[in-house]
Amino acid sequence: MDLLEYQGKRLLASRGIEIPQGQVAETPEQAREAAAAIGGKVVVKAQVQIGGRGKAGGIKLAENPDEAYEHAKAILGMDIRGHVVKSVWIEAASAIKKEYYASVTFDRAERKPLVMLSAVGGMDIEEVAVSQPGALVRRHIDPLIGFQAHDARWLVYHAGIDAEAMKGTMAILHTLYDAFVSLDAMLVEINPLVLTEDDRVIALDAKVTIDNNALYRRTELADVGDILPDDPQERMAHERGVTYVKLDGDVGILGNGAGLVMSTLDVVALAGGRPANFLDAGGGSKADEVVTALEVLLSDDKVKALLINIFGGITRCDEVAEGLLTALDKLGATLPIVVRLDGTNEDEGRAIIRDRAPSNVVVESTMLSAAAKAVELAKGQA
């Protein structure tokens, strides 16, 4: 789960990292009030779960509350790469002397936490990593030992952090690592980390990604609230706990296991079709989970044909077939549906469909032929 900037900042602030004074606003009026309360120049920042806000015009400096009102009016509702801005964060403008970069992330290749620090922050850090690799220093941490003082010293020294910022930066690195562990984060990033004119080290931004598998034990995040996707099918899937990603084609896909579903999308594309979505019904799918998944798929009127591709391991094909019949009964869908069932209880599953399914449901025996059939039927409906 990606947190919004202000949510991440508040979590860091509660752990002792200094952030500029700020408030959230959901209307231009609230933005004006926030700016008046903060006083002086403020920055109006779009709150979306995606980077590149500044380039998209989602971050503006306001000299006074009226300007904050105007900027908020322009930014709220803006679409930044598919994310609609629903709130802005109004914060006191900072007198910046230097901009740094600091992060703790999860290095999959090394299977260790990775702390990165750069004295060249504030701009596209990925660009810095490529053009000046020496400017971004990296240190892996043993998760059983944790982040130590010598790690912090090594990082600030090798990154070339300015003398007056060293102490503050080292303290922030410790806090950042503690936050990474205690929040079950996959990423905690501050870009820019700023040295102010009066020599304080403060966080001007925060990007925090939490491991979804650990949300059950992160009770402090309960009030962060669920950030719902804008797309209607993605929102519906999210609310019902279905793993779903919308794509732009017209062949709806339901499968079990992320690998098999991705492979199904690829095979549909090879057959000349365009997949409408990724939907993984998961391992051990029961009939009612199949019903829920189909409800999500069938609510998308771009879907012209459906391909159900199941390879039963712990998922039983007869359960999937029963779920399909229940869903069709409930939703009365008439679009063509191609079903491929293999694995555990495949004969029972196929028999259920053969004997009891309506005529718009056809069974194919292989993944390849099922994909070709679904593509053909989707084209026939277009």
Partner 1 sequence: MVFVPPRFAADAILEALASPVDTVVAITEGIPAHDMLRVYTHMKSTGKTLIGPNCPGVITPGVASVGIMPTQVFQPGRVGLVSRSGTLTYQISKELALLGIGQSTVVGIGGDPVIGSSFIDILSRFDADPETDLVVMVGEIGGSEEEKAADFIAANMSTPVVGYIAGFQAPPGKQMGHAGAIITGSSGTAAAKKEALEARGVRVGESPTEVADLVRQALGK
Asked if 359 is part of the footprint of partner 1 (rule: CB under 8 A), the reply reads: no
Q: Which of 41, 73, 112, 235 touches partner 1 by CB under 8 A?
A: 112
Least distance (Å) between residue 5 CB and partner 1: 18
Q: Which of 84, 157, 270, 356 touches partner 1 by CB under 8 A?
A: 270
Q: Which of 121, 192, 312, 336 touches partner 1 by CB under 8 A?
A: 312
Asked if 226 is part of the footprint of partner 1 (rule: CB under 8 A), the reply reads: no
Least distance (Å) between residue 200 CB and partner 1: 31
Q: Which of 77, 144, 163, 223 touches partner 1 by CB under 8 A?
A: 144
Our answer to whether residue 177 is catalytic in this structure is: no
Specify the residue, 67 or 151, whose C-beta has the smaller distance to partner 1: 151
Our answer to whether residue 189 is catalytic in this structure is: yes
The three-state (H, E, C) secondary structure of the chain, written as one string = CECCHHHHHHHHHCCCCCCCCEEEECCHHHHHHHHHHHCCCEEEEECCCCCCCCCCCCEEEECCHHHHHHHHHHHCCCEECCEECCCEEEEECCCEEEEEEEEEEEECCCCEEEEEEECCCCCCHHHHHHHCHHHEEEEECCCCCCCCHHHHHHHHHHHCCCHHHHHHHHHHHHHHHHHHHHCCEEEEEEEEEEEECCCCEEECCCEEEECHHHHHHCHHHHHHCCCCCCCHHHHHHHHHCCEEEECCCCEEEEECCHHHHHHHHHHHHHCCCCECEEEECCCCCCHHHHHHHHHHHHCCCCCCEEEEEEEECCCCHHHHHHHHHHHHHHHCCCCCEEEEEEECCHHHHHHHHHHHCCCCEEECCCHHHHHHHHHHHHHHHC
Q: Out of 100, 101, 177, 244, pick the active-site residue.
A: 101
Asked if 252 is part of the footprint of partner 1 (rule: CB under 8 A), the reply reads: no
Asked if 214 is part of the footprint of partner 1 (rule: CB under 8 A), the reply reads: yes
Among positions 327-346, residues that touch partner 1 (CB under 8 A) are 342-344
Q: Which of 314, 330, 334, 354 touches partner 1 by CB under 8 A?
A: 314
Asked if 269 is part of the footprint of partner 1 (rule: CB under 8 A), the reply reads: yes
Annotated active-site positions, please? 101, 189
- Which residues are near partner 1 by CB under 8 A? 106, 108-109, 111-113, 126, 142-144, 181, 184, 186, 211-214, 216-217, 243, 245, 247, 255-263, 265-270, 275, 278, 280, 282-283, 311-314, 342-344, 366-368
